[in-house]
Amino acid sequence: MARRRPDRNQSLAQYSRRAGIYDFELSFFEPIRRRAIERLGLRPGDTVIDAGCGTGLSLGPLIAGVGGKGRIVAIEQSPDMIEKARERVREHGWRNVTLINAPVEEAEIGAKVDAALFHFTHDVLREPVAVANVVDRLKVGARVVASGLNCGHLWALPVNLVVLAAALHSVSTLEGIVRPWSHLEEALGRIRVEQMMLGGVYVASGMVGRKR
């Protein structure tokens, strides 16, 4: 079957519709965000990429990890979603957040960073150029975490049906939904995958080794 690439226009339309209610919709998955950010093992002073940052729900916990001397580079292609993130940054008075309104595959990230988060960003993870653009900016030893929906074993049919229903209004391709982390795994060499919520959600973490 031909690989169906993520569709930027479809994604922009999805998130233009969802931006106003997105934070409420995601509230059920907040424990997964906490687990994903914990797995980043952030240290004060770190710089971290938030790829596909959406409305900026991860910014607070990321800032808690990197502290005032750290920095967040948050990339988001949807103008509607990043506007919410911009409001959040303004309200909190965060000065160490750089918001980039661009597709991750085209974003100019700048200096090398210590960590990267892909939280519920299936479309980004299924675009090898986007993954490569982030991985290219990671220092040796940098930690990377990807998390989100995935379809698991056939016996978990009811869970898979719920995952597919949720995915259909949040991603533009179901390609790779069984192993959403596969391009990241290829780029990093090794990755640890934890399954949660009866196998419908994963948190994959890895580190940039010396040889890539």
Ligand X SMILES: C[S@@+](CC[C@H](N)C(=O)[O-])C[C@H]1O[C@@H](n2cnc3c(N)ncnc32)[C@H](O)[C@@H]1O
Binding stretches for ligand X (CB under 6 A) = 11, 15, 26, 52-54, 57-58, 75-78, 81, 103-105, 119-121, 123-124, 127, 130, 170
Pairing of strands 192-196, 201-207: antiparallel
For residue 117, what are the contacts with CB-CB under 8 A and spacing of at least 6? Answer: 36, 37, 40, 48, 49, 50, 51, 58, 62, 144, 145, 146
The smaller minimum CB distance to ligand X, of residues 105 and 114, is found at 105
The smaller minimum CB distance to ligand X, of residues 82 and 188, is found at 82
- Ramachandran quadrant class, 145 (left: phi over 0; alpha: psi -120 to 50; beta: rest): beta
The smaller minimum CB distance to ligand X, of residues 9 and 155, is found at 9
Q: What are phi and psi of 117, to 5 degrees?
A: -120, 130
Closest separation in Å from C-beta 65 to ligand X: 15
Closest separation in Å from C-beta 142 to ligand X: 18
Three-state secondary structure call for residue 49: strand
Closest separation in Å from C-beta 97 to ligand X: 14
- 188, 205 Cβ separation under 8 angstroms: no
The smaller minimum CB distance to ligand X, of residues 46 and 76, is found at 76
Closest separation in Å from C-beta 154 to ligand X: 26
- 37, 117 Cβ separation under 8 angstroms: yes
Residue nearest to ligand X (CB): 54
The smaller minimum CB distance to ligand X, of residues 77 and 150, is found at 77
Closest separation in Å from C-beta 193 to ligand X: 18
